[in-house]
Structure formats: C-alpha cells, structure tokens
Amino acid sequence: MSDTKVISLSELQEHTKKDNLYVLLHGKVYSVSKFIDEHPGGDEVILAEAGKDATEAFEDVGHSDEARDILKDLLVGSFEEGSALPTKTASSPNLSAPVAQTASNASYFLPLAALAGYFAWRFYSSA
C-alpha cells in the first residue's frame, strides 16, 4: 500500500453520512460506507463514530485480525498531523466537570460543618 493521501480534520468531519462515511483509526482514515451494512456489530455503532477518532471504540471491542484485514480495503489515507483530534475527551463538557465537582464538594461541606459545629456546641455547653 502506498496510499499517501493526507486527510485534514475538516475533511474527516465532512464525511458523516452513512453513504459517505469516514472514521479515524490509529491515525489512518477509513471510508466505511461500503462495509457498514455488513458490519457484525451493526451500523449504529459505526455511525456514532462517524467523522471522529473511533480508535478507542474499535479497540474496546477487541476486533479480530479478520476485522483488521477488512480495514486494508477501506483505507483512504493518513490523518493530517497536527490536527486536533475530535475525541470525546477534547469536548467542552469536560471543562465544566471541575466546576460541578467544586459545587458538589461545597454542598457536602457546608451541612457537615454546621453539624460538626452543633455537636461541638452541645459537647461544650453540657460539660
């Protein structure tokens, strides 16, 4: 295989339709449209990864060597180096997570501090 086509992030993200679908696996871009109807795991799981880095989802399933062989026929090219990967971890919901964490810590801490204060008061006032 001497496929040297380089696919950019925006090109990858443009191919999200079932009949024109790219996924990124281990830094290589694959066109899955002609295989998606034959996929033993169903079309939905692949559609969910359309235009994205599907490496984690693909490896989590523990695909066989046979599955990896199929990929050779679907190769479009390699992913443009330096492009930001459209992984789930890179999305904004993550940024709000620490804020939510802080809020829930405070909502535990305040009633606990009040309770501790109450018992301290009971202890000292009864002594």
Q: Supply 69's token pair.
A: 């062989």
Alpha-carbon distance of 40 to 107, in angstroms, equals: 47
Ranked by CB distance to ligand HEM, the top (closest) residue is 41
Decide: 18 and 36 in contact? Cβ < 8 Å: yes
x-or-dash pattern for ligand HEM, window 11-30, by CB under 6 A?
Answer: ------------x------x
Q: How far is CA 88 from the centre of its chain?
A: 3
CB of 6 or CB of 63, closer to ligand HEM = 63
Q: For binding to ligand HEM (CB under 6 A), which residues are involved?
A: 23, 30, 32, 35, 39-41, 45-46, 49, 54, 57-58, 61, 63-64, 66-67, 70-71
